[in-house]
Structure formats: structure tokens, C-alpha cells
Amino acid sequence: MFDDLVAEAESVPTEGWDFSWFDGRATEDRPSWGYQKILADRMAKAESALDLQTGGGEVLAGIPVKPRTLKATESWPPNLEIAKANLPTAEIVLLENDADLPFPDEQFDLVSSRHPVHVRWDEVHRVLKRNGTYLSQDVGAGSVRELTDFMMGPQPVHPARSPMTAVRNAEASNLEVVTIKQEATRMEFHDIAAVIVFLRKVIWIVPGFTVEAYRDKLRELHDFIERHGPFVAYSQRFLIEARKR
């Protein structure tokens, strides 16, 4: 059983941010604020918008009313073609997460990002129009640390991804924070294949993860799930909305 689940998990493609494969095998509660709904509302009111680190464009693809001008960036080449297919009317730019944005000053009414790896607050401020808005749902410090610590042993939690740090950085770039919320949401992994695909896809949970390197820990976790039921962890999320003064 263990070897069969491992083989299945290693065959699953990990490009993009489509998590439908996990249906029936893992669950994650969503934050109560409903990022997609908020983003749809802001997009409908904008004439021009930029989505940073868009992945495969899955979040934007679900927006019913898109701005006249819609652009996005993505750093991982395999996601680029997926994003172009999901967002045929948008301009998608391959760009490193910490690079300068290749757009003119004050071009966008809205800049958004779901789970950004790195935020260039100075560049966000530069490309926003006056009274323009930045909206983001971020992964907070210590997210899914239960799984990280199980696989790697206790790890330090770095405050760089905290809501307080985000507020400080936004305000230092002359953005006015109008909303900040945070929640911990429950996750359940129902089999070891779900754990493996998750770790292959969300690569910062266990940096450098491979099945071979962690096979003993994976077998131990498989035995735990078989005897006691789902492995439970908690994702940390925070919502930030800021306006250009």
C-alpha cells in the first residue's frame, strides 16, 4: 500500500495552482474573508490591474468581470503557458519575484497577489495610480509547521512573513494600510500520497524535499494515518489591503 501510494504521488504533475487532485484526499478550510470574492469586487471596479506571482492564473480566471487592462507576472516558467491558457486576454510576463516591475509609473488601479513569495513594496507603490489599491492574501509565519516539524524536526518560525512585518513594510513605502486580518485554518491529509504531492507542489514547506531523502519519515507518517486517521496541520493566512496615499 505504501509503495503504491508513493508511486502514484510521484506521477502527479505539479505545475500551476490547481489543487483539484486533492479532492477526497486532503482538505483545507478557507479563511472567512473570502479572498476570491473581495478580489472580484476590486477587479470589477478597476480599469487596469496587475496580478503578481499569478501561478497558473487560476485565481484570476475565476473573476467574472475583468478590467480593460489586465497584466500578470509569474516566475516559474512551467506555469507561464498554463497562465496564458487560463488568461487569454491578459499580458503575462515571466519575472523573478524580487525583480523591478517592467511597467510605467502609476499605471494600475489595482495590484493584487495571492500567496506572494516576496513583495517589492517600493515597486507596488510606484506602479499604482494615486488612490490605487494593493490587495493580497499571504501565507503567514509558521504555516503548516506541524508537517514541517514532523519531517525535519523543530524549525524556527521566521517573523518576516508576519502581518506586523507586512504593515511595517507597506507603511515604509508610503502605502496606507486599510485592512489587516489573520486566521489559522485547519488542514487534513488523508493518505501519504496527498502529503507527498503537497510537499512536491508547495516547495517551501520542506525545502529540498524528495521522496528518497524523506522515505523513512514518510513511512512513519503513513503508518500513523493508517492507525489514527488524518494528519492535521494549520495554515496561517493574512489579508492585507493598502492604498497609495
If we measure between CA atoms, which residue out of 244, 113, 135, 118 comes closest to residue 181?
135
DSSP run (H or E) holding 172: helix 163-172
Low-confidence ranges of the chain (pLDDT < 50): none
**Its pTM surpasses 0.85:** yes
Q: Which residue has the cell 506586523?
A: 164
CATH number for position 147:
3.40.50.150
DSSP for 55-105, please give it: TTSHHHHT-SS--SEEEEEES-HHHHHHHHHH-TTSEEEE--TTSPPSS-T
Q: Which of 38, 108, 34, 21 is nearest to 68 (CA)?
A: 108
- Calculate the alpha carbon distances from 25 to 127, 175, 196, 222 in Å: 41, 41, 12, 13
Instruction: Tell me the C-alpha to C-alpha distance, in Å, between residue 105 and each of 54, 77, 134, 149.
Output: 21, 26, 15, 43
Give the closest residue to 72 by CA, choosing from 108, 45, 120, 20: 108
Q: What's residue 15's pLDDT? A: 84
Sheet holding 91-94: strands in order across? 26-28, 175-189, 231-244, 128-139, 108-114, 48-51, 69-74, 91-94
Q: Which domain holds residue 232?
A: 2-244
> Cα–Cα distances in Å, from 31 out to 81, 137, 140?
29, 10, 12
The Cα-based distances of 34 to 37, 167, 238 in angstroms read 5, 20, 11
- Total number of domains constituting the chain: 1
What DSSP assignment string belongs to 204-229? TSSTT--TTTTHHHHHHHHHHHHHH-
Give the model's pLDDT for residue 161. Answer: 87
Place of cell 486532503: 26
